[in-house]
A and B are shown apart, each in its own frame.
Chain A
Amino acid sequence: MKRSSASLAIGLAFTALILAAAGLSLVWTPYDAELILVEQRLMPPSAAHWFGTDQMGRDVLSMILGGARNSIAVALVAAGIGLGAGVPLGLFAAAQGGIVDEIVMRSNDLIFAFPALLLAILITAIAGPGAINAIVAIGIFNIPVFARLARGGALALWPRDFVRAARVAGKGRLRISLEHILPNIASVLIVQGTIQFSLGVLAEAGLSYVGLGAQPPAPSWGRMLAESQTYFALAPWLALAPGLAIVTTVLGLNMLGDGLRDLLDPRIRRERAI
């Protein structure tokens, strides 16, 4: 019990920090993240530039703040696509059963069989690199995750008495799915949402590292890492700042997910209490 609340607190704190950084970058950054001042290039961290400057004299802290916005926007929308398309599919499959269920689940298996990262790279390389295509590429692979989860949860609920009662009362499958099934699987979906959110942050970083994410001059953590490699021996802070930003975001979201799961799932709570 104690550990799960600690996990929740740390996760909330880290997540809030990154969300605040992303929000702040909308209205204010110490410098213009796209401002190139070649005479100030590769300056180590100082009072004027907390995280130093890069090979083009841009302020690294400002780029990290802007990168937070990009990273969170991509991962959040991609998780939203997964939830928005996957959950209805899963609920529908469970409610209909039979051939519909079979088709939905086999299509899921098919998407799962594809190497996700490679396909995301393929999609962005074909459709053209950029944040929007990165969102689509990551989002597609979130759909079967939520579909499977929603279907599994729903199937376990359909034989339960309260659902049967609703059927006897004359409610249709759609209404039962929305009014009785969905609220009961919401907590599981939220927990999975934080996990897919964090995986999305990692995937976005990977895509922009190979040059297929957000395009310059928009700052992105993955591309900052790619550019830092050449200058690592001269300016190690260039590789440390974006890497630590990614770790903080993913760690925060994962711990938030763990904490929420322990909080929302009474079975685990009981086991912990022993």
Chain B
Amino acid sequence: MVRFLAGRALALVITLLAATLVVFLVLNVVPGDPAAYMMGLGGDPAALAELRRELGLDLPVWQRYFAWAGGLAMGDFGVSYTYRVPVGDLILERMRVTLPLTLMAMALSTALAIPLALFAAGRRGRAADAAVSGLAQVGLAIPNFWLAILLVFVFSTTLKLFSAGGFPGWEAGVWPALKALVLPAVALALPQAAVLTRVARGALIETMGEDYIRTARAKGLSERRALRDHALRNAMIPVLTILGLQFTFLLAGGIIIENVFYLPGLGRLVFQAIAQRDLVVVQGVVIVLVFAAVLVTLAVDAAYALADPRVGKGRR
């Protein structure tokens, strides 16, 4: 188990290193000089050269890479070209919107999907099961930004229950801030809930065919209790995998939704940074998201190993 996790941790470090290289290379072949962009049209060439030196853009590419990657290892993400503040601070500040939004969407999606999957698996093959599957099928096909537009129309334009966008900040109080995140979270959560329902239902039905469930049923346990007390736990592995994937997907996937609702999260930050050629910020955000993705994968693997001792032993 320890060896298994150590191996995975090593793979994590290698992946991160490779990711910094890829991100840096992709972004540094970009046409368009960030300094020229900042100076605007008709900038003074001497001032431009000065700015390039100040930003470190006059150094060779490999030197800039090592400076940046070395800084990352120390937790230093560099300084934003346009905002002139440390990128790490910018990312942390935006995370205060994106992280709660992601967690809210995941909580909503899980709270909806697991009961629906239990309901459907307990009635498999019947009309109720078909209805849940049909609903999930439709949910999968709905783009979250379209759902967002519809939600805004119904709940803010027509019913005036929520604002159509913007974020008051946590300083305005927890409730107003959470309220601003409700519609975006629902828009993100519903399509994810559809995926989760399908996976959980499939996993539940598969475990219901196992011998230990048959034994439990033979001992007089009702189907519903067998589902809830025995099958659910064993169906958790595929569910956990999907939850892990969804977490990283939502962190980055908020990018479009945050733009629909004008939320000052990571998505809007990176979007504006791309438009302004603020490459240090773009690099930083991508690396943070890759780090989150790899870390979550590791956590899910560790959770498997804890839940099922067979995992990690049979592997290379």
Give Cα A8 to B53, complex, Å.
Answer: 62
Distance between Cα atoms of A228 and B150 in the complex (Å): 11
Once the chains are docked, how many angstroms separate the CA of A52 from the CA of B245? 40
Given the known interface contacts A113-B294, A250-B140, the answer about A121 and B274 at a Cβ–Cβ threshold of 8 Å is yes
Knowing A117-B256, A210-B256, A239-B146 are in contact, say whether A251-B286 is a contact too (CB < 8 A). Answer: no
Q: Is the CB of B286 within 8 A of A122?
A: yes
Q: How large is the interface on A (under 10, 10 to 19, 20 to 34, 35 or more residues)?
A: 35 or more
Tell whether A251 pairs with B141 under 8 Å between CB atoms, given A110-B15, A232-B149: yes
> Does B216 sit within 8 A of A, measured CB to CB?
no
A217 to chain B, nearest CB (A): 22
Instruction: Contact check, B137 vs A205: say whether CB atoms are below 8 A apart.
Output: no
Residues of chain B contacted by A119 (CB below 8 angstroms): 286
* Residues in chain A within 8 A of chain B (CB atoms): 3, 106, 109-110, 112-119, 121-123, 125-126, 198, 202, 205-206, 209-210, 225, 228-229, 232-233, 236, 239, 242-243, 246-251, 254-255, 258, 271
User: Which chain B residues (141-156) contact chain A, with CB distance < 8 Å?
Assistant: 141-143, 145-146, 149-150, 152-153
Q: Which of these, A113, A125, A225, A248, contacts B145 with CB under 8 Å? A: A225
Give the shortest distance, in Å, between A259 (CB) and chain B (any CB): 11
Pick the contact of A118: B140, B145, B255 (CB < 8 A). Answer: B255
Question: Which of A206, A233, A254 is close to B143, meaning CB atoms less than 8 Å apart?
Answer: A206
Report the nearest B residue to A271, measured CB to CB. B209
- If A239-B146, A239-B153 touch, whether A121 touches B255 (CB-CB below 8 Å) is yes
Residue of A nearest to B290 (CB): A113
Within the assembled complex, what's the spacing in Å between the Cα atoms of A209 and B256?
Answer: 8
Beta-carbon contact of A239 and B149 below 8 Å: yes
Chain A contact residues: helix, strand, loop or mixed = helix
Say what secondary structure dominates the interface of chain B: helix
15 sample A-B contacts, Cβ–Cβ < 8 Å, listed by A number: A106-B11, A106-B15, A110-B19, A117-B252, A118-B285, A122-B27, A198-B141, A202-B143, A206-B256, A209-B145, A209-B256, A229-B149, A232-B149, A239-B146, A249-B141
The answer to whether A246 and B30 touch (CB under 8 A), given A125-B275, A232-B157, is no
Contact A228 B256 (CB under 8 A): no
Tell me the complex Cα distance, A125–B274, Å. Answer: 7
Give the 6 A-B residue pairs with the shortest CB-CB distance, closest first: A115-B252, A250-B141, A251-B141, A243-B146, A125-B274, A118-B252
| B22, CB-defined interface residue at 8 Å | yes
- The CA-CA distance from A198 to B140 in the complex, in Å, is 10
Residues of chain B within 8 A of A3, CB atoms compared: 130
Residues of A contacting B30 in the complex (Cβ-Cβ under 8 angstroms): 126
Instruction: Tell me the smallest distance from the CB of A129 to a CB of chain B, in Å.
Output: 11
Assess whether A232 is in contact with B286, with CB atoms less than 8 Å apart: no
CA–CA, A175 and B48, complex, Å? 59
Q: Are B137 and A255 in contact (CB under 8 A)?
A: yes
Contact of A251 with B137 in the complex, beta carbons under 8 Å: yes
Q: Is B74 an interface residue (CB 8 A)?
A: no
Contact present for A225 and B252 (CB under 8 Å): no
A251 and B138 in contact, given A110-B18, A115-B293, A205-B143 (Cβ under 8 angstroms): yes
Q: Is the CB of B157 within 8 A of A210?
A: no
Interface string of B1-39 (1 = CB under 8 A from A): 000000000010011001100100011001100000000
Taking Cβ atoms with an 8 Å cutoff, the residues of B that contact A are: 11, 14-15, 18-19, 22, 26-27, 30-31, 130, 137-138, 140-143, 145-146, 149-150, 152-153, 157, 209, 248-249, 251-253, 255-256, 259-260, 270-271, 274-275, 282, 285-286, 289-290, 293-294, 297
**Chain A residues with CB under 8 A of B130:** 3
Complex Cα–Cα for A114 and B21 (A): 13
Residues in chain B near residue A233, CB distance under 8 A = 153, 157
Closest A residue, CB atoms, query B256: A206
CB distance from A91 to the nearest CB of B (A): 21
Q: How far is the CB of B269 from chain A (nearest CB, A)?
A: 11
A232 to B19, CA, bound (A): 42
How many angstroms from the CA of A232 to the CA of B150 in the assembled complex? 9
Question: Which residue among A198, A205, A206, A236 has the maximum number of chain B CB atoms within 10 Å of its CB?
Answer: A206
A160 to B15, CA, bound (A): 34
Instruction: Say yes or no: A113 contacts B19, CB within 8 Å.
Output: yes
A271: shortest Cβ distance to chain B, in Å? Answer: 8
Q: Is the CB of B290 within 8 A of A247?
A: no
When distances are taken between beta carbons in the complex, the residues of chain B under 8 Å from A206 are 143, 145, 256
Known contacts: A122-B274, A255-B137. The answer to whether A246 contacts B289 by CB under 8 A is no
When distances are taken between beta carbons in the complex, the residues of chain B under 8 Å from A228 are: 149
| A247 & B141 in contact (Cβ 8 Å cutoff) | yes
Given contacts A118-B255, A247-B146, 10 further A-B contacts (CB under 8 A): A109-B11, A115-B286, A117-B249, A118-B289, A122-B286, A206-B145, A232-B149, A247-B141, A254-B140, A254-B141
